[in-house]
Amino acid sequence: MHFNKTLCSKAWTDLNISFSRKQLRHCCKSTYESFPSELSVDFFNNSSNIIKRRQDLLSGIENSGCNHCWQSYHNTGTAYREHMNQWKSLSDVHNNVEFIEIMLDNLCDMSCVYCNEESSHKIAQEKGLQTKMQTPSTENYKVFLDWLSTVDNEFVLSFLGGEVTYSKNFYNFLNLLIQDNRLTDKQMHLSLMTNGNTNAAQLDKLFKLYNTTPSGWSLLTIFSNESTGELSELVRWGLDWKTYEENFKKYLLQERIELIGLCPTISLFTVNGVVEYLEWALDLIRKHNKRVMITGNWISDSILSPEYSKYTDSAIKIKKLAEQNRDLFITERWYNSCISWTEQFDKILNTKTYNKSQLDTLLQQLAQQKNNEKIYRLYDFIA
């Protein structure tokens, strides 16, 4: 295979770190590797595993660390790489880490129907698991901060939960960042992903802390949602849509927040509802004079995948929405990435035969797990 069929910028530019699992990976779709017994600064971007993977990708070899995309190409003809890879030739290759994602714990106030106990302690509670809460390996913070202080290019530092706005580990970590003088003048875009369901007191705490961050840092908020009203409350179990609406507007009113990200994870239930949600969100973003990026995703390898939907033109509608709001995108690159995502999304829609018995089994399990038959209302939203 020629190198441009395997080359992917994510293996160089992205770093995803889980301090609770003591693992990291380069790209959120790749396989994790565990921290060594003695963590060093060099490990974060120069481990033997990532060196080998990069060599393979440059040589046209399908490294097993990227099996998510290779299998997706085989099954659907497209993959995450298609809309996220920014490189087309060897001349594009560089060694700058541009996106660093931090996961500290799985504390979450919701139990979304497509999520799992690794990302939500609520689901662990519902399943009656002995170990519910993950805790970060705080002893490794210093080594990470030592490495971070060596990053001289512009980068995004993003926090992912659970729900980080409820996490004391997040607030402790953010205070460490603020207090580290080596980071004060960094070209850093501080980002957090939220489910938008935070109570008023906790949200006020977050905004107050935001106002103590160095003035040179830009602040980003990424909203994880893909529908409105009752549907959003069913899919994202535990969400109160009115609270979400209010919080979305509160974030928009924060002067320090420069960018709003929309990160839908589309399923069989929300493949049509996502259009209404994006219309609603983009209208508010425009009214508040903010900028946007859209990083879409969809459920795969599950009966909940939108691959099983009946005919829908939602991908075409999302593309049209992006085109109509092109001026809102933070950069032309992010606009192009969104357009590419809608085109790849369109390729997988309506490609598999829906199996009702499998969905029946899944919803029965969820009803038992949540001890609530209201979950069966999801049948009314199947595309």
Q: How confident is the model at residue 383 (pLDDT cuts 50, 70, 90)?
A: confident
Q: Read off the amino acid at residue 201.
A: A
1: pLDDT strictly greater than 60: no
Same domain, 372 and 275: yes
How much is the pTM? 0.93
Same domain, 269 and 314: yes
Same domain, 69 and 123: no
Per-residue pLDDT, 353: 86
pLDDT tens column, 91-133: 999 999 999 999 999 999 999 999 999 999 999 999 999 888 8
Range of the domain at 67: 3-92
- Beta-sheet pairing, 218-223 with 257-262: parallel
For residue 361, how far is the Cα from the chain centroid? 28
- Encoded tokens for 42: 């060099």
Q: Read off the amino acid at residue 51.
A: I
DSSP result, 276-294: HHHHHHHHHHHHTT-EEEE
Same domain, 57 and 202: no
Length, in residues, of the chain: 383
Cis status, amide bond into 162, omega within 30 of 0 = yes
Q: What is the DSSP letter of 35?
A: P
Other residues' Cβ atoms within 10 Å of the Cβ of residue 225: 26
Per-residue pLDDT, 173: 97
Closest C-alpha among 192, 194, 190 to residue 215: 190
pLDDT tens column, 156-166: 999 999 999 99
Averaged confidence pLDDT in the chain: 95
Same domain, 155 and 67: no
Same domain, 71 and 123: no
Please answer whether residues 211 and 281 qualify as being in contact, where contact means their C-beta atoms are separated by less than 8 angstroms. Answer: no
Same domain, 63 and 207: no
C-alpha–C-alpha distance, residues 356 and 369, integer Å: 20
> Which residues, other chains included, contact 208 with Cβ-Cβ below 8 Å and sequence gap of 6+?
none
Over residues 172-176, mean pLDDT: 97
Per-residue pLDDT, 132: 85
Which whole-number Å values give the CA distances from 79 to 171, 172, 290, in the listed order? 35, 37, 30
Phi and psi torsions of 193, nearest 5°: -100, 135
288: pLDDT strictly greater than 90: yes
pLDDT tens column, 307-335: 998 878 999 999 999 999 999 999 999 99
Over residues 281-303, mean pLDDT: 94
Per-residue pLDDT, 130: 85
Give start and end residues of each alpha helix (H) in the chain: 10-13, 43-46, 48-58, 67-76, 80-84, 121-126, 141-148, 168-179, 200-210, 229-235, 241-253, 273-287, 314-324, 332-348, 356-370
3-state secondary structure (DSSP) of residue 147: helix
Same domain, 199 and 51: no
77: pLDDT strictly greater than 90: no
Same domain, 210 and 228: yes
Closest C-alpha among 318, 363, 358 to residue 338: 318
Per-residue pLDDT, 159: 98
32: pLDDT strictly greater than 60: yes
Per-residue pLDDT, 78: 86
Listed residues 92, 127, 153: the one ending a domain: 92
Per-residue pLDDT, 227: 98
Listed residues 52, 72, 92: the one ending a domain: 92
Same domain, 200 and 152: yes
Listed residues 46, 65, 92: the one ending a domain: 92
**In this structure, what CATH number is given to the domain that contains residue 353?**
3.20.20
2: pLDDT strictly greater than 50: no
Per-residue pLDDT, 257: 96
How many structural domains are present in the chain? 2
3-state secondary structure (DSSP) of residue 166: helix
Same domain, 36 and 133: no
Which whole-number Å values give the CA distances from 176 to 156, 169, 240, 299, in the listed order? 17, 11, 32, 35
Work out the burial of residue 350: count CB atoms within 10 Å of its CB; fewer than 13 is exposed, 13-18 middle, 19 or more buried: middle
pLDDT tens column, 210-240: 999 999 999 999 999 999 999 999 999 999 9
- Encoded tokens for 315: 């991908």
Phi and psi torsions of 303, nearest 5°: -65, -15
Same domain, 115 and 133: yes
3: pLDDT strictly greater than 90: no
Over residues 35-59, mean pLDDT: 96
253: pLDDT strictly greater than 80: yes
- Encoded tokens for 285: 């973003």
% of the chain beyond a pLDDT of 70: 99
